[in-house]
Homo-oligomer: A and B are copies of this chain.
Amino acid sequence: MNTKPASVRSKLDFYRLARDEGVHLENCPVREVIANIGGKWNSLLMLALAEQPYRFGALRRLVPDISQRMLTQTLRDLQRDGYVHRAVFPTKPPSVEYSLTELGRSMFDPLQALVKWAEQHHDAVRAARARFDRDES
């Protein structure tokens, strides 16, 4: 049965386990989360909603280069995974407010750490990139 020892050794095992047991490692827990910050707009919207709750239109203005379609869809994805709460107020015309849930806030912490790293090291990355591009020319 190719059985694994009960103790999970390395971080990689989370991927490996998923591969061994799942259809196509679609149910790998790490991938599930990483996929949701990897999208083009997911992390950006998390960043925005971590600031404060926003209404749909406000988010559009905050991020003018997102298409309406992707805004709707990304918000629904985030809501589906429990990161975002969607509150509908029956005003006329209706207004909808999006906010982070507790789960969303807790996942925002490590996400923010990554963002801070990016802010602090993006020049090093750009330098490395320039060096690489020059050397291989």
Inter-subunit contact A114/B33 (CB<8 Å): yes
How many identical chains are in the complex? 2
Beyond A29-B125, A80-B129, A110-B113, list 10 extra A-B contacts (CB 8 Å). Answer: A19-B64, A29-B118, A29-B122, A32-B125, A33-B121, A80-B133, A82-B132, A106-B121, A110-B116, A110-B117
A132 CB contact (under 8 Å) in B32, B80, B124, B126: B80
Whole-angstrom distance between the alpha carbons of A128 and B121 in the complex? 34
Please tell me the size bucket of the interface on A.
Answer: 35 or more
Interface flag for A87 (CB, 8 Å): no
Residues in chain B near residue A11, CB distance under 8 A: 47, 50-51, 112, 115
Question: Which A residues have a C-beta under 8 Å from some C-beta of B?
Answer: 10-12, 14-15, 19, 24-25, 29-30, 32-34, 37-39, 43-44, 47-48, 50-51, 62-65, 79-82, 103, 106-107, 109-119, 121-122, 124-129, 131-133
